[in-house]
Amino acid sequence: MTNSFAHKLGQGGFGAVYRGKLPDGREIAVKMLKDTQGDGEEFMNEVASISRTSHVNVVTLLGFCLQGSKRALVYEYMTNGSLERYTFGNSSAQDPNALCWERLFDIVLGIARGLEYLHRGCNTRIIHFDIKPQNILLDGDFCPKISDFGLAKLCKQKDSKISIGGARGTVGYIAPEVFSRQYGAVSSKSDVYGYGMVVLEMVGARKQVSVGTESSTKYFPQWIYDNLDEFCGTNVEIIMPQY
């Protein structure tokens, strides 16, 4: 399917993703996980989680392979890659990777709909635990799809909170209660926190975690507030919600 892994789409800590094609002509992305020891809990967790889903804003799992230490996931191919490509860097209109505010707004809404489906629309609630730009994929129409369910947890709809064995997620997107575990249990609100940080990055066109720079020591939401006019123009009206 991948023509002997000829076209690599990306590389991460989990392994590599390759572009391929099914016999019927459909393009796919094959996620080859690194050889791992143990019972493959993370791999089967991703298969179990995403196989329960069917939503326009959640990536579709087409198949998987589990043979000894070899593990692979076969997904639908996302033409425009991950949201990370369009979130950071030069935010000017001349940037070939820049997206207009209307399209960014549609992406924000799409991610929210996907999360709402995972948290409320499935028979078994799914908490993702790793919402970040790299895990938001964009199809040919820039429709966002949530991907990478390796850290996800399943819980019954009637359970508002679940217990976890340790902090999980990516630094900068981990909700405080997940990172510290001081409350003993977490909820779907942890995904909402990660989603909020993604939205802030989209507004600021800037990574909120930048190791080695002076700005990385600043609280990112405050940085966005202080620099909002730079990205949205000088005539920005901020309307505070009424509670």
Please identify every residue annotated as catalytic: 130
DSSP string over the chain: --TTTT-EEEEETTEEEEEEE-TTS-EEEEEEEPP--SS-HHHHHHHHHHTT---TTBPPEEEEEEETTEEEEEEE--TT-BTHHHHSS--STT-TT---HHHHHHHHHHHHHHHHIIIIISSEEEE-S--SGGGEEE-TT--EEE---TT-EEEETT-S-B--SS--S-TTTS-HHHHH-TTS-B-THHHHHHHHHHHHHHHHTS-S--TTSGGGGS-HHHHHHHHHHHHH-S-PPP-PPP-
Which residues does residue 239 pair with via DSSP β-bridges, in sequence order? Answer: none
Give the Cα separation of 105 and 125 in Å (integer). Answer: 26
